Amino acid sequence: METTYTPNRTKGLRFLFVLAGVIAALIVFFLFIGGTETDSILFLTWVGLAIVLAFPLTLVLYRAYTLATTRYILSRDALDLGWGLRRQLIPLNQVEWARPQSDFESKLPLPWFRLPGSVFSALDINGLGPTQFISVNSTNNILISTKGQTYVISPQDLNGF
């Protein structure tokens, strides 16, 4: 029997889609302004800005995909963490401990780059070692420690997990 847990994606997806919409609107605006230009230098400037904005748009859309596909599947034998194009299968006999973040007295250091509603990053934390964040918030997380890595996850049902 396996149970699938998911994080609360609402806040993160809302933020990411609004940000993607703003970037897409800027791209369309720059292409429109560039299309009305008669000066070739200004035309290339506007189109160049639109092309440059395509890169952050791609990153934001991939972050939305990562958030939308984040799942924590707990079975009798393993914990399967999936986010975006990544997947980590952890046999339960390799899990040293799993505790809620509230059990720790000190505040958990967070990655410097995080968007509201999605914290997907790796960080080397003193005392925990290499730590992979697969979380949607900075509080109410569960820390899972294995021999070489610590994972920070945020299922909606913390008590059920």
pTM of the model: 0.88
Encoded amino acid at 150, one letter:
T
Per-residue pLDDT of the chain (161 residues; tens, 9 = 90+): 789 999 999 999 999 999 999 999 999 999 999 999 889 999 999 999 999 999 999 999 999 999 999 999 999 999 999 999 999 999 999 999 999 988 888 888 888 888 889 999 999 888 888 999 999 988 889 999 999 899 999 998 877 77
- CA 92, 111, 107: angle at the middle one, nearest 5? 75
Calculate the CA 49 to chain-centre distance: 26
In degrees rounded to 5, what are phi and psi of residue 109? -65, 140
Continuous segment of H or E residues that includes residue 97: strand 95-100
